[in-house]
Amino acid sequence: MSGEIHAGARYYGALTLPLYDAAVLNIAVPFAWGVPLEVGRGMYRRLVGARHLDIGVATGYFLRKAMAERDAGAITLMDLNENATRYAADRLKRFDVTQAVGDALEPFPVEGPFDSIGMFHLLHCMPGTVAEKAVALDHAIAVLAEGGVCFGASVTPAGRRLNPFGRLVLNASNRTGALNNAADDHDALRAEIERRFRDTKIELHGVMTLWEAREPR
């Protein structure tokens, strides 16, 4: 890792993290990207396994919702920004939580194997082409347990019609570097996932690609 935190991870601090759920999850996700929050909550409820790795955690919102109904679980939280892992870990402290600071584009500094790996709203923050971002899937595969699932969501707006609010959020966030996804394309991401996994379920919901993938090739 270069030691530098790119803009897509830099904005998550003591002042912004408490606002993240209200502003990003409750407003941008449904109204700019067209995905009801329940879609992500349902995936986490269904897919989080006994040993779960979450990459790009921010507040840990989806994981907290999924774990609310559970008594136990081993959770590893990995993020490029330590503020995020600390914030989420504090809110999940009744579980067995491990924190790791690391870049999803580099081999993950975590102890696998994991039954489930979540990458929600992560790739669209990261710099590079879809093919360059998809290297994170290779690093996930390296720590995925046999029979495990890797799942995620990323806004892939290239070539899609956005509503005026979505267009505004996309332009502003790509200008500041909070998101790096103006050129991200659903079919390109689908191809990267299918190239790496035999068993996939990939959907475009609004302008967001949602996937679950099993059986690395």
Vertex 70 angle, CA 103 and 122, to 5° = 20
Is 149 a binder of ligand SAM (CB under 6 A)?
Answer: no
4-23 residues near ligand SAM, rule: CB under 6 A: 8-9, 12
Q: Please list, residue by residue across 71-101, b when 16 or more beta carbons sit within 10 angstroms of its beta carbon and e when fewer do.
A: eebebbbbbbbebbbbbbbeebeeeebebbb
CB closer to ligand SAM out of 100 and 215: 100
Is 108 a binder of ligand SAM (CB under 6 A)?
Answer: no
- Give the shortest CB-35-to-ligand SAM separation in angstroms: 11
Is 92 a binder of ligand SAM (CB under 6 A)?
Answer: no
Contact, 197 vs 216, CB < 8 A? Answer: yes
Interface stretch with ligand SAM, choices 53-61, 67-75, 140-148, 163-171 (CB under 6 A): 53-61
Beta strand pairing call for 96-101 and 114-120: unpaired
Is 152 a binder of ligand SAM (CB under 6 A)?
Answer: no
Of the candidates 32, 51, 52, 61, which one interacts with ligand SAM according to CB under 6 A?
Answer: 61
Three-class SS state of 1: coil
Is 66 a binder of ligand SAM (CB under 6 A)?
Answer: no
Is 103 a binder of ligand SAM (CB under 6 A)?
Answer: yes
Is 56 a binder of ligand SAM (CB under 6 A)?
Answer: yes
Residue 106 backbone phi and psi in degrees, to 5: -115, 160
Three-class SS state of 27: helix
Residues in the chain: 217
Binding site residues, ligand SAM, CB under 6 A: 8-9, 12, 25, 55-58, 61-62, 79-81, 84, 103-105, 120-122, 125-126
